Amino acid sequence: MSGEAAYRTLSTPGRSRLAVRDSEFLGRAAPVEDVPAAEAFVESVAAEFPDASHHVPAYRVRADPFREYASDDGEPAGSAGDPVLSTLAGRELESVAVVVVRYFGGTELGVGGLVRAYSRAATDALDAAEVVERRPHETFAVTVDYDDSGTVRSVLESEGVDFEADYAATVTFEVRVPAADAAAVRDRIRSATSGRARLDSA
């Protein structure tokens, strides 16, 4: 699932609030770059609502290998985390974390009621966020002598990729390019400089 194809994620966070038979469910959704960022988001939501009955997290993160995670956090098995994760998967969202916070109001909802409530809170939080399509990018460094710097700059400008140049004893270009195009850009640089350019992963 993690590869060079475009993928759907969030560009903004989303929030929701749902009241169900005396219980309150607060949904929080956010884009996350990696697993540590997802876990940090989960912890930040738990810290924001320390007195809540449950903090139910789920995330899907582009990584190698692709990572999916969910927890019921004390709710009946399969009644909370899996429904939230299924909401993310159903929308084909990646690099997104959701936490649904529950304040228990004293009335049992049953497994079916919990599944519906957690799914709805996650759905509403995602609806409140902005979904975008992104392409995976790769970053690498190109180091050349001054004589080849103009050539490399011309290649990068003609490819329309993002880059920054650092002029010191040699010239280093930090290049950010769509992953699907990275190999071709590197080959053009090697060819244009007759192999004199040094390419390093960032």
Domain locations in the chain as residue ranges: 7-134, 137-201
Query: Quick one: pLDDT at residue 64?
Result: 74
Selected residue with higher pLDDT from 106 and 126: 126
* pTM flag (> 0.75): no
Query: Quick one: pLDDT at residue 12?
Result: 95
Give the CB-side neighbour count of residue 22, counting CA atoms within 13 A: 6
Query: Quick one: pLDDT at residue 92?
Result: 93
Residues 6+ apart with CB under 8 A from 194: none
**Which segments of the chain are extended strands (E)?**
7-10, 14-20, 23-31, 54-61, 67-70, 96-103, 131-134, 137-144, 162-167, 171-178, 198-201
- What sign results for the dihedral spanned by CA atoms 118, 119, 124, 128? positive
Q: What is the CATH number of domain 137-201?
A: 3.30.70.240
Q: What percent of the chain has pLDDT over 90?
A: 80
Q: How far apart are CA 149 and CA 167, in angstroms?
A: 9
Counting every residue written for the chain, the total comes to 202
pLDDT band at residue 2 using 50, 70 and 90 as cut-offs: very low
Residue 138 has pLDDT above 90, yes or no: no
CATH class of 7-134: alpha beta
- 78: Cα separation from own chain's centroid: 24
Tell me the pLDDT tens digit for each residue of 173-200.
999 988 888 899 999 999 999 999 999 9
Query: Quick one: pLDDT at residue 63?
Result: 77
SS3 call for 85:
helix
SS3 call for 4:
coil
Residue 56 has pLDDT above 90, yes or no: yes
- A 10 A CB-CB count for 131 gives 17
pLDDT average, residue stretch 118-130: 96
Tell me the pLDDT tens digit for each residue of 23-48.
999 999 999 989 999 999 999 999 99
pLDDT average, residue stretch 113-123: 96
Tokens 């399509």 correspond to: 133
Query: Quick one: pLDDT at residue 1?
Result: 41
pLDDT average, residue stretch 109-119: 95
SS3 call for 138:
strand
Query: Quick one: pLDDT at residue 96?
Result: 97
